[in-house]
Structure 1
């Protein structure tokens, strides 16, 4: 849960940065209007940023893509730092953006609407890639704006329910009780596993990961934060139903403020994390989190079930990141080739081999799969690298994430995407505390997001 406040703060900062960019002085790179020749002869230098090479999966793929450009004599420089929306805005205004940067896919349409990033349909063509066959449709949906693709996707972090089977057995809860297509059963399971010391929680029965993941629950209940055109739909009746249920979940566990504060005390990435210490019975977690838990596999008793929609089908929301090529980039053809190579099946194979080698050097560690954003790469990794770990619960958990990929749902693409997310985040606390009704909180958020959407669409015309 420590990541939740970071996500909300980043979204808010991005909105501020974009506003500054939109109001900045004229003559920025977004006004160039030049046709990009992605098939041009590749030479010179390439600068990339907005990401770090923190592990073997990132490093091996970067090495593979860089080697592909070095064959053309291109010198590649990667300025390792996480994406910073304010820095991006400042660099866009001054024309000093790198040739390639990585950002959350929910940011892409907003930048595309402002003319700050290039469409990449012709990039795929130049590199001989059929984007619709290589990447998942739901992933491409997140980076498609006004009929064009603006991002080169990497990763898909689907969500599933991680279950602490030790706590469940103690409370008499079964995996069937955590089927999210039966919200009442999940509520009862949360109540059964919850423990407290007076008014202070000592164990959450079920962790929904609010405020950051409200939009995931909206999708699970059949709602969405935007429609197919990118128009905000925060006050959708299905969203109201989802948030009403989430309030019941928190009310059954000491209330939202107490539960959220308790979650902030967890050693989320450490040896005393909430599953090792039995501070949680079950909860919604992205696919990367089992990689954290794998370091403590011998101290855990966990399993998983898919996140299911209200029809009972496993589902996955297409969250993740994408490479984008800024409008002011100086070497767009090289940026295109590097990003496509970095997300190719060959690069993902190198990543899987590197991950398997690191596991062999750390006995007891578990390979939890790599979820790439590419349907062809995921199939290859699952068939060639994923084997039984010897830990039945971990294997069931990994399979839960793969089941979700069969029914991928795009989060949507909107020129007001950042403001929609920010207004949703801002609506959670008053809705959960009762300061506003669910309808009032989402209605106010919808009105604020619609204002930005109308301004953005008017400016784009």
Structure 2
């Protein structure tokens, strides 16, 4: 399922590139795609059509309600289906775009480079918002292209290792043994925690969410798939070391196919999930999964460990979404005003209050909100995230908040989705034994570089 989703995303990005090239008539992509930039005003009136935002839970609804209260002269209609790149590019070609879209941050640079969304710096200034202080550096970097911010970031849910203390103790492993800054020693810990029946694992010593979190592991080794200039950097020596390690991790647990087979059989969201049924010792999870496990708090024994780079420094790696204003939107002023209202500290506090009420009603544990804004995260935590009385969850919640001090992301590129797909293909080929890590990454780099050169 993961591979299929990423393939669709890459195909959608390719559609964006092709469409934009046709629209420009061969013009070199750049900020605004050569279009005249809109001058934002702080007015927020008239009709506003959004795409991709769905206020289906208390967090989304409370933020939408806050924006509505702040902007009473704005009449909002929402297409609440998930954002569809191909649908949006078709709308752009027809000149019938919505006023505001919610999309994955990995798409922002591609859309910006092709003139499909508006730069927002002047709009931030009009509304008195300083993006550098309002958002984490990593989230702001994700939505920046050619020095300009093109979207309003939201959500940053970093990853950590979630240790199953029961299975760790049974294997003679302490949680602190899962130290990603010493990868060779970590392989031995993973092997010690793995249980096999023949060639098939029954308990995974360490599931690194590979290939899904491959980018994070590249950064653990000091690498990454995208450089500061947006160009692909897939074949760096650091990345080769990282992928070699990923292959070794899979092989000592039975190999990629066997590990994937066991993971596919896990009841990840159910009563017999892998922590309840003791099918794992450690897994890499983004913060949202801790919230899932609160439903099974009595049946799990957890301890979170931060992801560390080879230098021993924490890495709070995450992606996320953002709001962008399409080029040609009928109501760009209303769109930006609504996006900023829905992502303001006040909106997030309303969301925190709503989440706390929902948690209290269900007698659950409040694991917090991870908003993409440092100030909002701090205030929500201080006002609404109380100690639960469950030491395991309280410790894990603290670790996820702690790693927010070191936010990381993939970074922006006008061919970000193509780079992501090239990395996925390379990792899969190496894990399956089809190619050596260096060859797999070299082929991926050549493919991604061609895409980048075509977009430059």
What is the aligned counterpart of 2:54 among 49, 52, 55? Answer: 52
Tell whether 2:206 aligns with 1:212.
no
Aligned-pair distance for 1:403? 1.8
User: CA deviation digits over 1:159-180, x for unaligned, max 9?
Assistant: 1001111110111111121011
User: What residue ranges of structure 1 are gaps of 5+ in the alignment?
Assistant: none
Distance 2:284 2:349 in 1: 29
Aligned residues: 451
**Structure 2 CA distance for aligned equivalents of residues 180 and 272 of structure 1:** 28
- 2:28 maps to none
Instruction: Say which SS state the counterpart of residue 264 (structure 1) adopts.
Output: helix
* CA distance in 1 between partners of 2:354 and 2:371 (Å): 15
The separation in 2 between residues aligned to 1:202 and 1:404, in whole angstroms, is: 31
In structure 1, the residue matched to 2:15 is 17
Distance 2:340 2:300 in 1: 38
- 1:313 corresponds to: 313
Task: After TM superposition, list the pairs within 5 Å mapping 1:104-115 onto structure 2.
Answer: 104-115=104-115
- Aligned partner of 1:167 in structure 2 is 167
Cα pair 2:52 2:101 within 8 Å, conserved = yes
Q: Look up the SS of the partner of 2:180 in the other structure.
A: coil
Q: State the SS of the aligned residue for 2:339.
A: helix
Summarize the alignment of residues 34-433 of structure 1 with structure 2, pairs less than 5 Å apart: 34-39=36-41, 41-70=43-72, 73-363=73-363, 365-433=364-432
Cα deviation per residue 1:276-297 (whole Å; 9 max; x = unaligned)?
Answer: 1111111111111111111111
Inter-partner Cα distance in structure 1 for 2:57 and 2:431: 37
Per-residue CA distance 1:349-387 (angstroms, 9 max, x = gap): 000000000011011x11111111101111111222222
Cα pair distance change 1:291/1:277, threshold 3 Å: same
CA deviation after TM superposition for structure 1 residue 442, in Å: 0.3
Deviations 1:66-124 (A, max 9, x none): 22222xx2110111111111111211111222111111111100110000011111121
Whole-Å Cα distance in 2 between the matches of residues 8 and 264 of structure 1? 17
Q: Which runs of 5+ in 2 are unaligned?
A: 26-31
Compared CA separation, residues 455 and 147, structure 1 to 2 (3 A): same
Residues 157 and 319 of structure 1 are in contact (CA less than 8 Å); yes or no, is this contact kept in structure 2? yes
TM-score (norm 1): 0.94
| Cα deviations by residue, 1:24-73 (Å, 9 ceiling, x for unpaired) | 5679xx77823313215332100111132231111111111122222xx2
Cα deviation for residue 322 of structure 1 reads: 0.7
1:341: how far off? 0.6
Q: Does structure 2 conserve the Cα–Cα contact (< 8 Å) formed by 1:49 and 1:79?
A: yes
Cα separation, 1, equivalents of 2:23 and 2:116: 14
Structure 1 residue matching 2:49: 3-state secondary structure: strand
Note if contact 2:13-2:415 (Cα within 8 Å) is conserved in structure 1.
no
TM-score by length of 2: 0.95
CA distance in 1, matches of 2:5, 2:193: 28
Report the secondary structure of 2:161's partner residue. Answer: strand
CA offset digits 1:278-326 (Å, max 9, x no partner): 1111111111111111111111111101111111111112411111111
CA distance in 2, matches of 1:42, 1:340: 11
Equivalent in the alignment of 2:3: 5
Output the aligned Cα RMSD.
1.7
Mapped partners of 1:389, 1:446: distance in 2: 47
CA drift at 1:6:
5.2
Q: CA–CA distance in 1 between the matches of 2:81 and 2:89?
A: 15
The separation in 2 between residues aligned to 1:108 and 1:254, in whole angstroms, is: 38
Partners of 1:63 and 1:175 in 2: CA distance: 42
CA distance in 2, matches of 1:291, 1:260: 24
Q: Secondary structure at the match of 1:57?
A: helix
SS in 1 for 2:265: coil
Q: Secondary structure at the match of 2:71?
A: helix
Q: Is the 8 A contact 1:20 1:89 kept in 2?
A: no
Q: State which drifts further: 323-332 or 256-265.
A: 256-265
Q: Equivalent residue of 1:309, what SS?
A: coil
1:121 & 1:362 partners in 2: Cα distance? Answer: 42
Q: Tell me if the contact between 2:33 and 2:114 (Cα under 8 Å) persists in the aligned partners.
A: no
Q: Distance in 2 between matches of 1:11 and 1:211?
A: 16
